[in-house]
Amino acid sequence: MFVVVILRSFTITFISLFIPQIFFAQGSIPATDNINQAGWIKKVGARKFPSGKQIFFVNRYGAISDGVTISTKAIQKAVDACSAKGGGVVRFKPGTYVTGAIFLKKNVNLHIDQGVLILGSESFSDYPEIDTRIAGIEMKWPAALINILNTTNAALSGPGIINARGKFCWDKYWAMRREYEPKGLRWIVDYDAKRVRTILVQNSSDITVKEITVKNAGFWTVQLLYSDHLTVDGLIVRNNEDGKGPSTDGVDVDSSSWVLIENCDIDCNDDDFVLKSGRDWDGLRVNRPTEYVVIRKCIARKGGGLVTLGSETSGGIRHVLATDLVGKGTGNGFHIKSATTRGGIVEDIHFQNIQMDSVGTAFQFTMNWNPAYSYSKLPDGYHYDSLPAHWKTLLQKVEPSEKGIPTFRNIYVSNITATGVTKVVNAAGLIESALQGFHFNNVNVRGKSAGGISYAKNWVFSDVMITGADGKPLNVANSEEMKLGKN
């Protein structure tokens, strides 16, 4: 079977070959992609781990393991005592504990042993509002179940289980969504719903989340915000046990740097591993990038995307290596998304040694993502002066408007195998901002359709084999300097 790519006066033929059933594809990486020699890769992750050996059992401070009693105050007392005495390990005797928001402190390792189950409180009153950033804007929002704020050298470790019991958040969201959408308020409902995150790291350094299992997040599972030198290792996320919870991202790296994510297994209902840096006027104001991030040896099952960059791109996303990953049944494989009010530059991104099975779109790149959500417009009948502060933030115009146009450039994709794909490529830049410098090397993808590329510039394919079951060619339009032959 042949798939023909037609680009202006060129006709390039890709021959579908048998794809070996191997765990990770191997092959040469073009000379332009020297990421594996980059010195910064060895510098990511937490530089230290709490070393204190003294153990503080929460039970000694009044925590009760009956699966009913709220033990928030007792757990917090144990954490505070541990930190005050120079650090150590906060532990639980076997059993089931219910808690609201807990705040970790310096030099504390909150360790959840095998046989310990932490249940999140199902009352919003157990999660006090804090100053934070959510979905790209700074605002008041409920604290997470586990919070690591303004601290250094702290850890949350397993192998026990945290069940956030987030259905109370999902139900609130869907009820509000049904009310808001007919009023033309789809753009604000996510912010008004104020759902509870499970783990939040904010304004902190040298933090580790290790070998913990998290279930049924009310909103994002792990958010790494305004922080540096972070490790997420061996995290297991299972957000689909109690139903299909909306926006239950796996790991969100949000305007943070020097981050290592490895050996994780994510099953969620939105993006699995996602990098963000603020949205629209507020994100451009903060102007803080996500950079120096390694994601490796992980698997994504259900979810919106194996690796997603955006849609919040205002502060920029750069210097990223995603390698040795598996996507099984995710909506997208490699997804870069933004909107024409976001701005920011996404660049120096490396997506390599990937196996995908039964994903929706293998390569999805868009600068006009989800317009109903992305673009804020106040319907008639509302008085601006009486609006909540976060409504005004989202309604603040980006001026001049050109600042809102994002840039995607210098993207490297190599050593990819994929089967059972619906669409191979869905790439759309803008007249004002072409998708620039995308390099694909040793890519073997089978899909129902090859897809298309528009408003692109300076793409290079080397040893690329694309199979579209419908026999239609990859549609390339409004693009220039495209080298899509087999080099």
Tell whether the model's pLDDT for residue 21 goes beyond 50. no
Tell whether the model's pLDDT for residue 148 goes beyond 90. yes
Which has more pLDDT, 370 or 485? 370
Percent of the chain with pLDDT over 70: 93
Judge contact between 177 and 189, C-beta under 8 A.
Answer: yes
| Residue 10, SS3 per DSSP | strand
Tell whether the model's pLDDT for residue 19 goes beyond 50. no
- The rounded distance, in Å, linking the Cα atoms of 466 and 109 is 48
Give the mean pLDDT of 211-217: 98
User: Is the preceding peptide bond at 311 cis, omega within 30 degrees of 0?
Assistant: yes
Mark 296-329 as b/e (b = at least 16 C-beta within 10 Å). Answer: bebbbbbbbbbbbbbbbbbbbbbbbbbbbbbbbe
| Predicted confidence band of residue 241 (pLDDT cuts 50, 70, 90) | confident
What pLDDT, in 10s, does the model give residues 161-212? Answer: 999 999 999 999 999 999 999 999 999 999 999 999 999 999 999 999 999 9
Count each helix (H run) and each strand (E run) in the chain, helices first. 6, 35
Tell whether the model's pLDDT for residue 20 goes beyond 90. no
Q: What is the pLDDT of residue 243?
A: 72
Q: What is the pLDDT of residue 35?
A: 86
Judge contact between 2 and 470, C-beta under 8 A.
Answer: no
Q: What is the pLDDT of residue 240?
A: 84
What pLDDT, in 10s, does the model give residues 111-130? Answer: 999 999 999 999 999 999 99
Q: For residue 88, what are the contacts with CB-CB under 8 A and spacing of at least 6?
A: 50, 52, 53, 54, 55, 56, 82, 107, 108, 109
For domain 32-359+368-404, give its CATH number from 3.40.50.10470, 3.40.50.920, 2.160.20.10, 2.60.40.650.
Answer: 2.160.20.10
Least confident window among 33-47, 93-107, 419-433? 33-47
All structural domains of the chain with their residue ranges: 32-359+368-404
Tell whether the model's pLDDT for residue 100 goes beyond 50. yes
Tell whether the model's pLDDT for residue 27 goes beyond 50. no
What pLDDT, in 10s, does the model give residues 332-352? Answer: 999 999 999 999 999 999 999
DSSP E strands, 216-316: 222-225, 228-233, 236-238, 251-254, 257-262, 265-267, 271-276, 290-300, 305-309
Tell whether the model's pLDDT for residue 466 goes beyond 90. no
Tell whether the model's pLDDT for residue 392 goes beyond 80. yes
What pLDDT, in 10s, does the model give residues 73-88? Answer: 999 999 999 999 999 9
| Residue 98, SS3 per DSSP | strand
Judge contact between 341 and 368, C-beta under 8 A.
Answer: no
Q: What is the pLDDT of residue 349?
A: 98
- The rounded distance, in Å, linking the Cα atoms of 416 and 464 is 9
- The rounded distance, in Å, linking the Cα atoms of 434 and 425 is 16
Placement of tokens 């594996």 in the chain: 36
What's the mean per-residue pLDDT of the chain?
Answer: 92
| Residue 408, SS3 per DSSP | strand
Tokens at residue 163, please?
A: 């069940």
| Predicted confidence band of residue 404 (pLDDT cuts 50, 70, 90) | very high
Judge contact between 108 and 74, C-beta under 8 A.
Answer: no
Ordered alpha helix ranges (H), 243-296: 280-286
The closest of 184, 97, 87, 185 to 146, measured between CA atoms, is 97
Q: What is the pLDDT of residue 473?
A: 87
Q: What is the pLDDT of residue 467?
A: 83
Tell whether the model's pLDDT for residue 451 goes beyond 60. yes
Which has more pLDDT, 30 or 52? 52
| Predicted confidence band of residue 30 (pLDDT cuts 50, 70, 90) | very low
| Predicted confidence band of residue 8 (pLDDT cuts 50, 70, 90) | very low
Q: What is the pLDDT of residue 2?
A: 34
| Predicted confidence band of residue 108 (pLDDT cuts 50, 70, 90) | very high
What pLDDT, in 10s, does the model give residues 9-18? Answer: 233 332 222 2
First to last CA, the chain: 20
Least confident window among 16-20, 31-35, 134-138, 395-399? 16-20
